[in-house]
Amino acid sequence: MSDDLTAPEHLETEADFEHRWTALLDEMETRFGKRPDLNALLLLIGVQELGQGVAEFTKEQKQDLMHIATCKLFSLSGHYELERVDEDGWPHYKLLRPVPFAFLKEQERMMKWHMLEYFSLED
């Protein structure tokens, strides 16, 4: 996580952040009938970004979808940008600047913050 106290993830209280996260999980549980974990949300975002609808995906394709989701999420903070979409419709991102090193707990919080931003832009 960034040491920059003006970084977006530092501009709200922990209680507000947790409230927004719980509300997102509640909404997803209502929508899909099951409370998602981070990996399920990454897969959902990847499928959404692929834009080909719900389908059966191989294990490798699921990993690719989660990678697409991670790149899309971190594009919101300028770490990646969409480079191209291949002939099969799969997006490819390029790294603009490395995601800062963070310990697992901080990585999880960064991912949650980016997911909250992503879904708020979708509304």
Per-residue pLDDT of 40-74, as tens digits, reads 999 999 999 999 888 899 999 999 999 999 999 99
**Token pair belonging to 53:** 């609808």
pLDDT at 3 over 70: no
pLDDT band for 10, please (50, 70, 90 cuts): low
Report the alpha-carbon distance of residue 14 to residue 6 in Å, rounded.
Answer: 15
Report the alpha-carbon distance of residue 114 to residue 13 in Å, rounded.
Answer: 16
Sequence ranges of the domains in the chain:
35-122
The alpha-helical segments, DSSP class H, found in 76-103 are none
Give backbone dihedrals phi and psi of 78, rounded to 5 degrees, phi first.
80, 15
Q: What angle do CA 47, 68, 41 make, to 5 degrees?
A: 55
pLDDT in tens, 79-100: 999 999 999 999 999 999 998 8
pLDDT band for 104, please (50, 70, 90 cuts): confident
